């Protein structure tokens, strides 16, 4: 009989926007995770640590080095029959992908396709869409975290067009006039149409002209000549420009909502919602997918950004409010549940007893040392920073800390 709780070996991704060397939380956790021959290189960027069954960076079973998907295919009871049926899982897959991310630079402006689009495009061109799933996701801040997500209200974009001449110069007069008219529409569809018109033009702007206008904008800001309407956005523009000089995506500061999260704050990203993660460390849980469409490089014949983006302006993001998973839990002790409006996802972090769940889960330790116990305490496994475990469906576990704080995050799925 296979164990219900066992160690995993995650995988890392070294994208250029990741933090370098030991400054990256990803590198710190990977160093303790048991990845064979892993050694931190201070000149390398460590962007993501993946925990799941996605083939682009698959997790393995610690000890045997067998793919987690192969192990689960041989032991489907670890996932649970109800979960397998609910999500149509095959070949040992689980329905979520768990990640740690460390950002030193902003990602490109991007969206993720919905499930119908992913299935259609993947069947016709697997290179354009690497899998057939959507990629709805939840991000939970582990440090101070900055991001752009969702379109600004059209009234706010209109203000920027009126008070930021460098931004306004990117658009023809007729486009600006139509946007000004549509932005004031009492009808939501009218505002969305105005936004679509403006973004379609923005996606085709001349890069050299945009770079020239950005240079003028930065020089004006550095000289302290911003208007009152620009003051809240000035520092963001300068920050993005320092990361990517002359990049037209910097102007997205005048199109997308910007917000800063403190540790413990969380939000979800839906299909088609434009977003840019800028700086910080987060833990992320998503449907098992790696499908991404960027504004700069979407191939029109397959996955086009403009055709798949959700044109829904909003005044900001609503944070996911954690609830008690166990009685008496607080922000500093116990177990809190972050439950986003996404069928596949739910994640929690804490220290104590956890009831059995009707589905599989993966937990990662981000701080301290402790023990996980199961089988009514008859079995136990010591865990330290960076170590990852799989917990089978129907398994009650208890966590105990050693002399220091013991903090872990657990992602799971349940089917009633």
Binding residue numbers for Zn(2+): 110, 112, 137, 275
Helix and strand totals (H; E) in the chain: 11, 24
User: Which residues in 115-134 are b (16+ Cβ under 10 Å) and which e?
Assistant: bebbbebbeeeeeebbbbbb
Distance CA 143, CA 161 (A): 34
Q: Residue 171 has which token pair?
A: 């658009």
Q: Residue 397 has which token pair?
A: 């576990």
Whether 352 and 377 have beta carbons less than 8 Å apart is answered as no
Residues 6+ apart with CB under 8 A from 80: 358, 359, 360, 393, 394, 415
Distance CA 46, CA 214 (A): 30
Q: Residue 226 has which token pair?
A: 């911003």
Distance CA 71, CA 315 (A): 46
What SS3 class is residue 69? helix
Distance CA 329, CA 323 (A): 9
Distance CA 11, CA 21 (A): 16
Whether 96 and 50 have beta carbons less than 8 Å apart is answered as no
CA-to-CA separations, 111 to 199, 380, 396, in angstroms, rounded: 14, 42, 37
Q: Residue 170 has which token pair?
A: 């990117």
Q: Which residues are annotated as a binding site?
A: 110, 112, 137, 275
Q: Residue 341 has which token pair?
A: 């409006």
Whether 281 and 132 have beta carbons less than 8 Å apart is answered as no
């Amino acid at each position: 009989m296979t164990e219900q709780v066992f160690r995993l070996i995650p995988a890392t991704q070294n994208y250029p926007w990741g933090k370098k060397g030991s400054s990256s939380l990803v590198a710190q956790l990977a160093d303790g995770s048991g990845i064979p021959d892993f050694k931190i290189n201070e000149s390398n960027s460590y962007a993501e640590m993946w925990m799941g069954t996605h083939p682009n960076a698959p997790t393995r079973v610690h000890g045997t080095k067998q793919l987690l998907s192969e192990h689960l295919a041989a032991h489907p009871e670890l996932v649970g029959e109800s979960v397998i049926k609910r999500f149509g899982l095959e070949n040992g897959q689980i329905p979520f992908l768990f990640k740690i991310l460390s950002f030193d630079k902003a990602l490109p402006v991007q969206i993720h396709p919905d499930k119908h689009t992913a299935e259609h495009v993947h069947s016709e061109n697997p290179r354009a869409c690497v899998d057939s799933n959507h990629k709805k996701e939840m991000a939970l801040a582990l440090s101070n975290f900055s991001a752009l997500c969702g379109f600004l209200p059209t009234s706010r974009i209109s203000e920027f067009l009126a008070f930021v001449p460098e931004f306004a110069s990117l658009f023809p007069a007729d486009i600006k006039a139509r946007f000004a008219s549509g932005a004031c529409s009492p009808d939501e569809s009218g505002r969305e149409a105005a936004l679509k018109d403006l973004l379609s033009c923005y996606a085709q702007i001349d890069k050299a002209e945009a770079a020239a206008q950005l240079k003028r904008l930065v020089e004006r800001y550095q000289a302290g000549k911003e208007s009152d309407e620009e003051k809240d956005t000035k520092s963001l523009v300068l920050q993005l420009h320092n990361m990517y000089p002359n990049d037209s995506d910097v102007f997205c500061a005048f199109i997308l909502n910007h917000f800063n999260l403190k540790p413990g704050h969380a939000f979800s990203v839906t299909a088609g919602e434009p977003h840019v993660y800028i700086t910080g460390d987060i833990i992320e849980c998503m449907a098992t997918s790696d499908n991404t469409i960027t504004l700069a490089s979407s191939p029109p014949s397959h996955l086009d950004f403009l055709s798949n983006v959700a044109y829904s302006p909003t005044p900001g993001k609503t944070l996911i409010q954690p609830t008690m998973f166990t009685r008496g839990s607080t922000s500093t002790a116990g177990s809190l549940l972050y439950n986003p409006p996404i069928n596949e996802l739910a994640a929690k972090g804490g220290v104590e007893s956890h009831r059995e769940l009707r589905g599989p889960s993966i937990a990662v330790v981000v701080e301290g040392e402790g023990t996980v116990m199961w089988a009514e305490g008859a079995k136990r496994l010591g865990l330290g920073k960076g170590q990852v475990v799989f917990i089978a469906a129907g398994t009650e576990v208890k966590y105990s800390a050693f002399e220091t704080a013991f903090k872990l995050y657990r992602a799971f799925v349940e089917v009633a």
